Amino acid sequence: VEPVDAIVARADALVSDIDLGSVKEWKAAAPSRKVVGQLPIYAPRELVHGLGMLPVCLFGGGDRLEIIRGDAYFQSYICHLPRSTVELLVTGRYDVVDGFLFPSICDVIRNLSGIWKMIAPEKYARYLDLPQNDDPEIGGRFWEMELRSLVEDLERLAGTKLSDASLRRSIALFNRNRELLDELYALRRETPWLAPSSELYVVVRAGAVLPVEEHNEMLRAYLDAARASGRPERDLARVAVIGAFCEQPPLGLLKTLERAGCYIVEDDLLLGLRWIRGRVREDGDPIRALVDAYLKASVASAAKYIGEDEKGRALVEAARRSHAEGVIFCAASFCDPALLDQPMLASALGRAGIQYTSFKFSEDTGQFAVIREQAGTFADSIKLWSEA
């Protein structure tokens, strides 16, 4: 069993490399290789992989990038992610990426896709309209048309045709990835001291840049190493962290929550990497299989236009399933989808008798003292309350 620290260090190096060094290495290994990047949250990476290209999930520059030109493209009262993403583009960090997908999560991403086409007209860029209706005859037919048209674009980019057999192989590999992720999140729910969230986060996020075959190996290795680590259980408050599904908080913020006395046992970080819950069918028409999975097995989140009740219920169920004693709303500043849903989610928690607190972050937040105090007070109140 590889030491857990070594696996985490490997994952951390991949995640913190804003120059996409591992992606450059992958591409340099064969002249015909292409890379397709996607903004948060969800795009069907199986299609990109099935064509022999590398799907890469782009999450902005985090706290490792100084924004010099990116600010010029956006007003000050929107989230941080588009500024750092543009900064990465104009500083050449995305030169290795041949095409970009902008899933329809919010107006900011929609506008970013337009700005992108002006700044980098030579790059393939597509706004990907996700279905907002789960009726197979309406949303299903729409999504199937969208996917078949996306495949035509991607085939042109790859210079090859996508066969059903190849797409099924990719679906099987991503199914394996979903299985391993499920196992990892279950391990954290049951024994958060063995798989702390600050570690789990980088190991999961490494899948944003690694080929899925390699990420599956990393997940397997981490699961074995975490179980063998023998770390002791501590008396911390179990919390769910909700709202950071798109722009990602700096790793220091997750570590701060842990140091403040919290076990994060549930979260919606990196949601696009685990958007489909369960297996996608590996038989029949593979595009139809992806469509059905989206309609029936994608996660209820602020990124979808579904009933408030459904999202509230999903959060309460997730909190109960993970035995979370409280919920921390942790949204990116100015994130419309997260902040618009928050009052409704808070009401659902109130009705269920689950405590919550909230704060906002930016991907380049560098000062955690206030968050530490707030999270520490919340953890203490949970402990006092549950012991009362």
Q: Is 50 helix (H, G, I), strand (E, B) or coil?
A: helix
Q: Show the site string, 287-326: x = touches ligand SF4 by CB under 6 A, - = not.
A: ----------------------------------------
Verify binding: residue 106, ligand SF4, rule CB under 6 A.
yes
Residue choice 81, 242, 290, 315 for contact with ligand SF4 (CB under 6 A):
81
Rounded-to-integer distance, Cα 34 and Cα 48, Å: 9
User: Under a CB-based contact definition with an 8 Å cutoff, are residues 321 and 189 in contact?
Assistant: yes
- Of residues 192 and 243, the one with the C-beta less far from ligand SF4: 243
Report strand pairing: 54-57 vs 35-38.
parallel
153 residue type, one letter: D
Say which residues have a Cβ less than 8 Å from residue 51's Cβ, sequence separation at least 6.
Answer: 154, 155, 157, 158, 160, 162, 166
SS (H, E, C) 251-284: HHHHHHHHHCCEEEEEECCCHHHHCECCCCCCCC
Burial of 290 (0-12, 13-18, 19+ CB in 10 A): buried
Site size for ligand SF4 (CB under 6 A): 14
247 binds ligand SF4, rule: CB under 6 A: yes
Cβ 41 to ligand SF4 shortest distance, Å:
7
- Least Å distance between CB 6 and ligand SF4? 33
If binding is defined by CB under 6 A, does position 46 make contact with ligand SF4? no
Please identify, using beta-carbon distances, which residue of 81 and 89 lies nearer to ligand SF4.
Answer: 81
Note whether 269 binds ligand SF4 by CB under 6 A. no
SS3 state at 239:
strand
Binding mask 194-233 for ligand SF4 (x = CB under 6 A): ----------------------------------------
130 touches ligand SF4 (CB under 6 A):
no
Q: Which of 62, 103, 250, 337 contacts ligand SF4 by CB under 6 A?
A: 337
Q: Does the protein bind ligand SF4 through residue 181 (CB under 6 A)?
A: no
Q: Determine, following the binding rule CB under 6 A, whether residue 37 of this chain makes contact with ligand SF4.
A: no
If one asks whether residue 71 binds ligand SF4 (CB under 6 A), the answer comes out as no
CA–CA gap between residue 277 and residue 167 (Å, rounded): 19
Q: Is 57 in the site for ligand SF4 (CB under 6 A)?
A: no
Applying CB under 6 A, the span of 61-69, 102-110, 161-169, 201-209 interacting with ligand SF4 comes to: 102-110
Residue 193 vs 359, nearer CB to ligand SF4: 359
**Runs of H (alpha helix) within the chain:** 4-15, 21-28, 45-50, 81-90, 107-119, 141-158, 164-190, 197-205, 212-228, 251-259, 286-297, 308-321, 336-352, 369-387
Greatest pairwise CA separation for the chain in angstroms: 65
Tokens 């007070």 locate to: 377
CB of 80 to ligand SF4, least distance (A): 8
User: Is residue 332 at the binding interface for ligand SF4, with CB under 6 A as the rule?
Assistant: yes
Binding residues for ligand SF4, rule: CB under 6 A, are: 40, 79, 81, 105-106, 108-109, 246-247, 332, 335-338
